[in-house]
Chains A and B, each alone.
Chain A
């Protein structure tokens, strides 16, 4: 039976899962501390002694696609001889159904002499609010009463609605794979398929996969389809790469250096062009490129006109106006009468606005939790909480410290953090 290569070359053993040693140590340490597992497995992999790992009720593997979350659990089950009971987003996961499937799975005796059972709730961030009603609560209940290992996977476990799940689980983050590791796997597959693959070609596939091994293997299969036995850089150039992503630095450079209006405008057709990001970057880079006040003012005038159109579009939902906004933001910033001759290299700094937002991300997340809690309890909108209630609460908290303590208890957020939010 013809299998896609991602399935054909899916790691079978724990050791085969590449570039996730830290996650493997944590997972193995947890399994070996709380459940039965083969001695040699524990000797090799159970390297962690942290209390939070050993005491965790369940493990939640988090990370981007294609880094081995699901594969790691399948490999673990195979390695320690456990039967895997898996429920993923393609299954109905209402409270009733979850309890029925997991309950039945745990009650029934294992065939083939499995040493135990392991439950995998794959893609928990794919739980559907309506169709999987009560699913999240049921998973929490199953975890709290379970005598068997329960593991979950998610791309984004930091969604506020998964907070109760995070509270009773150990979150283990899997990282994007390094380019070297991806190349190494691709090289092994080429050898296995009897194909001669240029190092540079494999590196190109790895680079454009952005650390997603599954994507890289898929792409390799495409390039070597039909039983081809060679792969060169030219083959890849001809077909095009997975993520012909232009960084914002490259986009800006192309805009400022464009010699024609159409050339600048065409940048918006690039699949990786994100106009909202572009506006932030352009706002801060115009003075870096255009030092003369005359040129700078024309560039800002056009960017501000473009921004005005974006505002109109958002207000009226007249998206047919977007091309004008992009023309002004790209062609307008690029084509200026008194434009100076640009140096060969321009140092575009990372926008301060984005740096500040990144630094305050955690605080903003905590603030969102607080706002959500207040909105629900006070029966008002979130925007009303932000504009009115937070201020009132801040004043009240100054005169009564118990208020902060009560909020801290209710939200599970440090009292000092709450004070800074108010």
Chain B
């Protein structure tokens, strides 16, 4: 089943395969080399390599015995206070298999564990430290209680830089016999903002449309407007033919089947990249925010988008920014 999904099929199996994250890799390699490590807390946005790094560390530590020496519990597993008190405690107190120095418990999305379950973990981490280490993975550090933070080394994972994502996507595309243009890579990155898992998913979805992936096929596959097309439309709306821009947007929604909210979100991203004085950007953000809120409250999407574009045009004209 895992072979079906490219993000799983191409999940790195060793430190060498992991893109970017050089400093984190260096640290973890040292732990493997020294055969000792503290408990760890990996935190950062989704798709930045937290789970991958934890599993790679397990493989590097235990080789063929990595499954026997690792207990992985993710959000789909029951992880209430009882599971911590019974299953985790039971695993933690038994000796490791083979010549392993200690066993590993990986708790994915630990920030979604209840405070009580985290409380139960506190002393387990200390009492069984002789033969078990814990790696907690979290999107938001604020979801981890302070006593657990205190018991771990905290390693931050940041959104992956564009070059790292591009390199990995090109590698996968080559392996899958798919050609991908630079514009298409840009569009994927624009859509996924450094989240590698989403980027690979986006690539896989786009690849279902054919062996050549362009910006247009990415946009179509992901239900978004081609960033280039949207920029042209905004150019029309703010500097040229407003009627033409309105027709374009109507086409995106009616012919392209793209949701109005998706257009508003993209409009938000693109409008803030406009070459206008910085002091106007908060005003532009507010206009788009009002449109977004109105749509959420049931207002007509196209009307709100046209209204927002007209207000921005008026603002730019009024301040002689166009």
Contact = CB atoms under 8 A, between A and B. Distances in A.
Interface of A: 1-7, 64-66, 70, 88-92, 122-123, 125-126, 128, 131, 155, 212, 214-215, 218-219, 221-222, 225-228, 238-240, 242, 259-262, 271, 302, 305, 309, 312, 316, 318, 320-321, 323-325, 327-328, 331-332, 335-337, 339
24 contacts: A2-B101, A4-B37, A4-B39, A6-B151, A7-B126, A7-B130, A65-B146, A65-B147, A65-B149, A65-B150, A88-B122, A90-B122, A126-B116, A126-B119, A215-B149, A221-B36, A221-B38, A225-B27, A261-B282, A271-B156, A328-B286, A328-B289, A335-B278, A336-B279
Nearest to B89: A90
A321 B289 contact: yes
A240 B150 contact: no
A305 B293 CA distance: 13
B102 interface: yes
Contact of B150 (A214, A222, A261, A332): A214
Nearest to A126: B119
B30 interface: yes
Interface of B: prevailing SS: helix
B27 A222 contact: yes
A123 B84 CA distance: 15
Interface string B98-126: 00011000000000000010011111101
Interface of B: 23, 27, 29-31, 33-39, 81-82, 84-85, 89, 101-102, 116, 119-124, 126-127, 129-131, 133, 141, 146-147, 149-154, 156, 268, 272, 277-279, 281-282, 285-286, 288-289, 292-293, 296-297
A27 to B, nearest CB: 20
Contacts of B121: 90
A324 B119 contact: no
A7 B89 CA distance: 18
B119 A123 contact: yes
Contacts of A89: 116, 119-120, 122-123
B100 to A, nearest CB: 10
Contacts of A7: 126, 129-130
Nearest to A260: B278
Given A1-B131, A218-B38, A328-B285, A90 B120 contact: yes
B296 A318 contact: yes
Interface hub of B129, B272, B289 (most chain A Cβ within 10 A) = B289
Given A212-B150, A215-B149, A90 B292 contact: no
A64 B151 CA distance: 12
Contacts of B82: 131
Given A3-B129, A4-B39, A242 B154 contact: yes
